[in-house]
Amino acid sequence: MSEVHLDDFSSLFSLNGKVAVVTGGSRGLGLHAASGLLQAGCSKVYITSRKASACEEAVAALNALPNKRPGAQAISVPADSSRMDELDRLVAEVNKTTDHVDILFANAGATWGEKFETHPEHAFSKVMDLNVKSVFYSVQKFAPLLSKSATRESPSRVIITGSVAGIGVGSLGENATFSYSASKAAVLHLTRNLALELGPRHILCNALAPGFFPSKMASGLIEKQGGVKALEEESPNKRLGRPEDIAGAVVYLGSRAGSHLNGATLVLDGGSVLKSKL
Ligand SMILES: NC(=O)c1ccc[n+]([C@@H]2O[C@H](COP(=O)([O-])OP(=O)(O)OC[C@H]3O[C@@H](n4cnc5c(N)ncnc54)[C@H](OP(=O)(O)O)[C@@H]3O)[C@@H](O)[C@H]2O)c1
Residue 3 domain-assigned (yes or no) = no
Q: How many domains does the chain have?
A: 1
Confidence of residue 130 (pLDDT cuts 50, 70, 90): very high
Confidence of residue 7 (pLDDT cuts 50, 70, 90): confident
Spatial separation of the C-alpha atoms in residues 127 and 110, rounded to whole Å: 6
Q: Is the pLDDT of residue 248 over 70?
A: yes
Q: List residues with catalytic annotation.
A: 180
Q: Is the pLDDT of residue 3 over 80?
A: no
Residue 10 domain-assigned (yes or no) = no
Cβ atoms of residues 126 and 82 within 8 Å? yes
Residue 212 domain-assigned (yes or no) = yes
Spatial separation of the C-alpha atoms in residues 157 and 258, rounded to whole Å: 9
Q: Is the pLDDT of residue 29 over 90?
A: yes
Residue 221 domain-assigned (yes or no) = yes
**pLDDT for 136-165, tens place per residue?**
999 999 999 999 999 999 999 999 999 999
Residue 144's domain comprises 15-271
Residue 132 domain-assigned (yes or no) = yes
Task: Compute, in angstroms, the gap from residue 210 CA to the centroid of ligand 1.
Answer: 12
**pLDDT for 107-125, tens place per residue?**
999 999 999 999 999 999 9
Cβ within 8 Å of residue 30, ≥6 positions away: 22, 23, 24, 47, 49, 105, 107, 108
Task: Compute, in angstroms, the gap from residue 130 CA to the centroid of ligand 1.
Answer: 10
Task: Compute, in angstroms, the gap from residue 79 CA to the centroid of ligand 1.
Answer: 13
Nearest atom in ligand 1 to the alpha carbon of residue 28 is 16
**pLDDT for 69-90, tens place per residue?**
889 999 999 999 999 999 999 9
Q: Whose CA is nearest to atom 17 of ligand 1?
A: 217
Q: How far is CA 264 from CA 43, 47, 157, 209, in A?
A: 26, 25, 12, 10
Supply the pLDDT for residue 278. Answer: 54
Nearest atom in ligand 1 to the alpha carbon of residue 26 is 43
Give the residue-averaged pLDDT of 197-221.
Answer: 96
Residues with a CB atom less than 6 Å from ligand 1? 23-24, 26-30, 49-51, 54, 80-82, 107-110, 130, 161, 163, 210, 212-213, 215-218
Spatial separation of the C-alpha atoms in residues 49 and 87, rounded to whole Å: 11
Residue 5 domain-assigned (yes or no) = no
Q: Which CATH number belongs to the domain containing residue 210 in this structure?
A: 3.40.50.720
Please give the torsion angle defined by the CA atoms of residues 84, 85, 86 and 88, in that order, rounded to the nearest 10 degrees: 90
Residue 109 domain-assigned (yes or no) = yes
